[in-house]
């Protein structure tokens, strides 16, 4: 995308986000969800990764995911506009007839081999979900009733256990790695947006809030907390943007490593930075009416999403695959470098 074109797309998304952000948990209603859903749909962002080559780079998609994460939004930009279309593209499906999201394991990690308990994640507006098994087989599964996670904004639905699901394609080894990398990058980018915005909110609060006749931001102890949090956010953003860049420019194995590093960084640093922000807000951040807990919930659940820190560090600690070994057979897993379950 040309710079001007991307800027225009990002500004549209920013404007949408500002208009449809929820001001508190009480504002999350079917009506506000529907209005936001329709407004997002009108932006047509699902087309960005539909074609081959895609209209938007991974870096651009990651920046849009960041933008979406900055505000408390109920819309499923990731599931229905950025992730499922990319999966369809990798499978060569150019004209999908439905609007799926992606299916994850019940614990919100990358799913295990079929059949296994699943949920449809980030499924606002979705009519189905795509399940990528560790062997690369992709099935479209049906949606069951809504289910709750600690993230009050995110739509998640059960996937009926009895549904076999229709096989829609199979990812080869490289496409499978590309899919994992992309999913990790996009999900991580949204968390980066959330933590960046929340630290900004808490910094603004420290500028305004007065105690003992002074702005609390004038106290070194508060300043240093926020400076530390800012450093954490920068580390998260840098790792994530590098991983996105790798997907656009580097071999997929390097991109997958970068994506895992980014997610591992965000899993710990983003949570820590949000804790810091909440400490700066003090008591007000503990109230139901305040948006702080919406950010906290998003980041806490996000830290377990797709791959936990334990999953990632274990995988990153493994020796690099032997490049001299015979070419793989096209299956996504398992290999020495890939445990049976994709993490």
Partner 1 sequence: MDFELTEDQETIRKAVAGLLRDFDDRYWMEKDRDHAFPEEFYATVAGGGWLGITIPEEYGGHGLGITEATLLLEEVARSGGGMNAASAIHLSIFGMHPVVVHGSDELKRRTLPRVADGDLHVCFGVTEPGAGLDTTRITTYARRDGDHYVVSGRKVWISKAVESEKILLLTRTSRRDEVAKPTDGMTLFLTDLDRDHVDIRPIPKMGRNAVTSNELFIDELRVPARDRVGEEGQGFRYLLDGLNPERMLIAAEALGIGRVALDRAVAYGCDREVFGRPIGMNQGIQFPLADSLARLDAAELVLRKATWLYDRGRPCGREANTAKYLCADAGFTAADRALQTHGGMGYSEEYPVARFFREARLMRIAPVSQEMVLNYLGSHTLGLPRSY
CB of 223 to partner 1, least distance (A): 8
- CA 107, 99, 159: angle at the middle one, nearest 5? 30
Looking up tokens 């300043």, which residue turns up?
223
Cβ distance to partner 1 smaller for residue 221 or 327: 221
Integer Cα distance of 269 and 236 in angstroms = 7
What residues contact residue 171 under an 8 Å CB cut-off, 6+ apart? 90, 91, 132, 136, 138, 179, 332
Cβ distance to partner 1 smaller for residue 210 or 224: 224
Integer Cα distance of 299 and 158 in angstroms = 22
CB–CB of 105/117 below 8 Å? yes
Cβ distance to partner 1 smaller for residue 214 or 249: 214
CB of 113 to partner 1, least distance (A): 29
CB of 228 to partner 1, least distance (A): 11
Q: Which residues pair with 166 in a beta bridge?
A: 140
Integer Cα distance of 317 and 62 in angstroms = 26
Cβ distance to partner 1 smaller for residue 215 or 254: 215
Integer Cα distance of 209 and 311 in angstroms = 41
Binding site for partner 1 (CB under 8 A): 219-221, 224
Cβ distance to partner 1 smaller for residue 3 or 220: 220
CB of 209 to partner 1, least distance (A): 16
CB of 216 to partner 1, least distance (A): 11
> Would strands 128-132 and 100-105 be described as parallel, antiparallel, or unpaired?
parallel
């Amino acid at each position: 995308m040309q710079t001007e074109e991307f800027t225009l797309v990002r500004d549209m998304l920013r404007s949408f986000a500002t208009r449809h952000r929820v001001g508190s948990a009480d504002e999350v209603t079917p009506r506000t969800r529907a209005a936001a859903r329709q407004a997002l749909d009108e932006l047509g962002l699902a087309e960005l990764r539909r074609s081959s080559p895609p209209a938007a780079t991974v870096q651009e998609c990651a920046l849009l995911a960041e933008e979406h994460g900055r505000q408390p939004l109920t819309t499923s930009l990731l599931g229905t506009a950025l992730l499922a279309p990319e999966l369809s593209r990798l499978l060569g499906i150019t004209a999908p007839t439905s609007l799926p999201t992606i299916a994850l394991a019940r614990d919100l990690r990358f799913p295990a081999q079929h059949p296994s308990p699943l949920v449809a994640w980030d499924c606002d507006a979705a009519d189905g979900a795509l399940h990528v098994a560790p062997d690369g087989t992709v099935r479209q599964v049906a949606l069951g009733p809504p289910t709750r996670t600690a993230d009050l904004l995110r739509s998640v639905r059960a996937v009926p256990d009895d549904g076999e699901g229709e096989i829609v394609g199979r990812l080869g080894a490289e496409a499978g790695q590309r899919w994992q990398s992309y999913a990790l990058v996009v999900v991580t980018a949204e968390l980066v947006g959330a933590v960046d915005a929340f630290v900004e909110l808490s910094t603004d609060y420290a500028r305004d809030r007065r105690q003992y006749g002074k702005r609390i931001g004038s106290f070194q102890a508060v300043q240093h907390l926020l400076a530390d949090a800012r450093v954490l956010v920068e580390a998260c953003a840098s790792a994530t943007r590098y991983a996105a860049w790798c997907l656009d420019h580097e071999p997929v194995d390097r991109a997958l490593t970068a994506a895992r590093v980014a997610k591992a960084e965000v899993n710990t640093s983003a949570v820590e930075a949000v804790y810091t922000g909440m400490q700066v807000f003090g008591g007000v951040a503990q109230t139901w009416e305040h948006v702080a807990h919406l950010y906290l919930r998003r980041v806490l659940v996000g830290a377990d999403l797709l791959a936990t820190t334990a999953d990632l560090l274990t995988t990153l600690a493994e020796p690099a695959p032997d490049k001299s070994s015979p070419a793989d057979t096209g299956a996504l897993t398992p290999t020495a470098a890939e445990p049976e379950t994709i993490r």
